Amino acid sequence: MTKKTVIDEELVRRAIGNTPSILDADPPPFDERIIKTVEDSDEAPQAAERRRRILLPDFERRFMARTEIRFRAAIYVDAETKRKILDVVRKIGPDRMTATSYADNILRWHLETYREEINRLHNDRNSRELL
C-alpha cells in the first residue's frame, strides 16, 4: 500500500509565485461607512421592502440542502473563504453535504433575491435583460 503524500499547497504557491501568503496578511481595516441600512438607502421602496422580507431565510432549509449538480464549472474564491465554507459544511451540514452544494445554494438565492436589481443595473448599461 502506498503512502499518501501531503502537500502544503500554500507553500507551493508562495514558492512558485514568490507572493506572500494571504493567511499571513492582516485583514483590511473595517470601514463603517460601507455599511448602510435598507432604510437609509435611496433605492425604490418596493425593492427595499422585498429585501427586508427576505434577509433572513430559513437558513437550514435554503442553504444546507443537498443539490444535484449535473454540469460543474469552476469558480475561484479566496482560500480563507473556502476554509470557512468547508468548516460550515463539515460542522452543521447534513451527511454527504458538499461545499459545492452549499455555495450553489447561496449563489442561487443571491441571484433570485437580487434579480430585479441585477436586471435594472444591466438595463441601465445595456439594451436587454440579463436574467
Distance, in Å, from the CA atom of 100 to the CA atom of 93, rounded to the nearest integer, reads: 12
Q: Cβ–Cβ contacts within 10 Å for residue 15, how many?
A: 10
Are 57 and 109 within 8 A, CB to CB? yes
- Confidence (pTM): 0.53
Could you read off the pLDDT tens digit of each residue along the chain, which spans 131 residues?
667 777 777 776 766 765 554 445 554 454 444 434 444 455 555 665 655 555 556 888 888 888 888 888 999 999 999 999 999 999 999 988 999 999 999 999 999 999 999 999 988 888 766 67
